């Protein structure tokens, strides 16, 4: 299949529409145990196709852990230096992954340090012009296609800084969201125990 066909198949498997959320003012984003509505900004629209191709190329899922992994991978490839807004969105997803599977986040970050992403203008132009004929060709270009220019101790410090910032952002978003949800659910007549009872999740992976 061509990359366009691979991406269409990915959307079908995940139940996504490739343009359905462009008009929405907010988009639900995993933040711990909650899907929190965050502003649906133009930067997200511009890079969403390439982010989704990262999912396809790396094999990371769209569940909470998978989104954390692809975000850690993108940070390892240098997404924060390409666009601070992209990097911040990565940190939001990374925070959830760190709570659930921190070792997998570290492995994905290290893999990203040896990989390339599709966010630079030149790479996006090549995608849009169908430069790579299929998924194996794209993977050969992106995945672990370079040597990590920094030694492991410096990468560990970098990841630690990302992790600390991610958890701070997580707290700033999740705590008000949880408080709002508790107040709202109690106002709707649920008992406190019903409100705090963990829901069975099928979206972890």
Q: Read out DSSP for 36-92?
A: EEEE--HHHHHHHHHHHHHHHHH---SSHHHHHHHHHHHHHHTHHHH-HHHHHHHHH
- The H-or-E segment that residue 34 falls in is strand 34-39
Examine the pLDDT at 204 and tell me if it is beyond 60.
Answer: no
pLDDT of residue 33: 56
pLDDT of residue 184: 74
pLDDT of residue 171: 82
The pLDDT of 175-195, averaged and rounded, is 64
The pLDDT of 163-170, averaged and rounded, is 91
> For residues 56 and 99, which has the higher predicted lDDT (pLDDT)?
56
> For residues 175 and 93, which has the higher predicted lDDT (pLDDT)?
93
pLDDT of residue 195: 45
The values of phi and psi at residue 177, to 5°, are: -65, -45
Sign of CA dihedral 174, 49, 145, 148: negative
Percent of the chain with pLDDT over 70: 74
Examine the pLDDT at 176 and tell me if it is beyond 90.
Answer: no
How far is 202 from 205, CA to CA, in rounded Å?
8
pLDDT of residue 133: 94
DSSP state of 22: T
pLDDT of residue 37: 65
pLDDT of residue 19: 52
Q: Which of 110-114, 130-134, 162-166, 177-181 has the lowest mean pLDDT?
A: 177-181
3-state secondary structure of 121: helix
Examine the pLDDT at 198 and tell me if it is beyond 50.
Answer: no
Examine the pLDDT at 74 and tell me if it is beyond 70.
Answer: yes
Examine the pLDDT at 39 and tell me if it is beyond 70.
Answer: no
């Amino acid at each position: 299949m061509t990359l366009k066909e691979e991406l269409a198949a990915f959307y079908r498997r995940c139940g996504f529409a490739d343009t359905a959320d462009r008009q929405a003012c907010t988009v639900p984003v995993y933040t711990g145990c909650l899907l929190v509505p965050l502003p649906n900004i133009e930067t997200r629209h511009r890079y969403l196709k390439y982010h989704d191709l990262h999912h396809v190329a790396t094999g990371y899922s769209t569940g909470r852990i998978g989104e954390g992994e692809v975000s850690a991978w993108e940070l390892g490839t240098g997404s924060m230096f390409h666009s601070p807004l992209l990097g911040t969105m990565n940190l939001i997803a990374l925070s959830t992954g760190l709570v659930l599977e921190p070792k997998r986040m570290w492995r994905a970050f290290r893999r990203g340090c040896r990989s390339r992403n599709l966010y630079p203008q030149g790479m996006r132009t090549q995608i849009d012009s169908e430069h790579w004929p299929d998924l194996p060709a794209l993977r050969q270009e992106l995945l672990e296609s370079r040597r990590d220019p920094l030694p492991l101790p410096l990468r560990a410090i970098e990841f630690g800084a990302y992790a600390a910032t991610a958890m701070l952002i997580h707290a700033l978003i999740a705590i008000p969201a949880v408080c709002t949800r508790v107040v709202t659910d109690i106002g709707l007549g649920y008992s406190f125990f019903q409100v705090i009872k963990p829901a069975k999740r099928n979206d972890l992976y």
